[in-house]
């Protein structure tokens, strides 16, 4: 196998994405992977891309993730990423039809994150955002969603949005002061 080819399986493993996601990105970029039968895997057909095509895929992943830094692409390493600063956001996903359903999370660029979320939640509204380090995200989510029903990874339902806002306010009041950026 040529040294300048990398399998889609390896690309998926390195980026933490599913193979199907990598194939969708390739289709969007009009890249046709090279297919070869593997003697090591009982003649299974394996798809490969070049290093240049890999660079294009990594650029797309970086854009798609709304400026979240991927450990694979970063020279900083995983420890440095934990101290990255951004905002912790609280969104109401459907204010008119389901005002108790909300999403919380971390974003480096809130406007870009909101733009990406509008594909699946077109009516989402920002309730508030607080300066945050990536390292704090999981703890903040655990604290501010106490008593809420978990619907998905970062999506919850509450009887009182005001109580969630108050929990967020109290949590970030206890944390070190960071410069505010949205």
Tens of pLDDT, residue by residue over 141-155, are 999 999 999 999 899
Provide long-range contacts, Cβ within 8 A and 24+ apart, for 41-49.
46/7, 46/8, 46/9, 47/7, 47/8, 47/23, 48/1, 48/5, 48/6, 48/7, 48/8, 49/5, 49/6, 49/8, 49/11
Confidence of residue 66 (pLDDT cuts 50, 70, 90): very low
Residue 141 to residue 168: CA distance in whole angstroms: 9
Residue 63 to residue 87: CA distance in whole angstroms: 18
Structure tokens at 11: 């690309």
pLDDT at 108: 85
pLDDT at 153: 85
pLDDT at 166: 98
Element spanning 87, H or E: strand 85-94
pLDDT at 178: 83
Confidence of residue 51 (pLDDT cuts 50, 70, 90): confident
**pTM metric for this prediction:** 0.58
* pLDDT tens digits, one per residue of 6-41: 889 888 888 778 888 899 899 989 999 999 887 766
pLDDT at 68: 43
């Amino acid at each position: 196998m040529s040294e300048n080819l990398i399998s889609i399986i390896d690309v998926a493993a390195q980026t933490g994405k599913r193979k199907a996601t990598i194939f969708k990105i390739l289709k969007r970029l009009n890249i046709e992977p090279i297919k070869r039968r593997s003697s090591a895997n009982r003649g299974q057909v394996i798809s490969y891309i070049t290093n240049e095509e890999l660079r294009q895929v990594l650029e797309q992943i970086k854009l798609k993730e709304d400026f979240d830094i991927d450990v694979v692409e970063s020279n900083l390493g995983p420890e440095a990423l934990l101290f990255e600063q951004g905002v912790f956001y609280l969104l109401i996903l459907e204010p008119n039809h389901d005002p108790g359903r909300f999403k919380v999370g971390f974003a480096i660029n809130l406007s870009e994150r909101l733009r990406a979320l509008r594909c699946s939640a077109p009516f989402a509204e920002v309730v508030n955002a607080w300066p945050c380090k990536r390292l704090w995200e999981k703890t903040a989510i655990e604290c501010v969603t106490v008593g809420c029903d978990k619907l998905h990874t970062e999506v919850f339902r509450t009887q009182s949005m005001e109580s969630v806002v108050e929990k967020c306010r109290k949590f970030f009041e206890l944390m070190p002061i960071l410069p505010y950026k949205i």
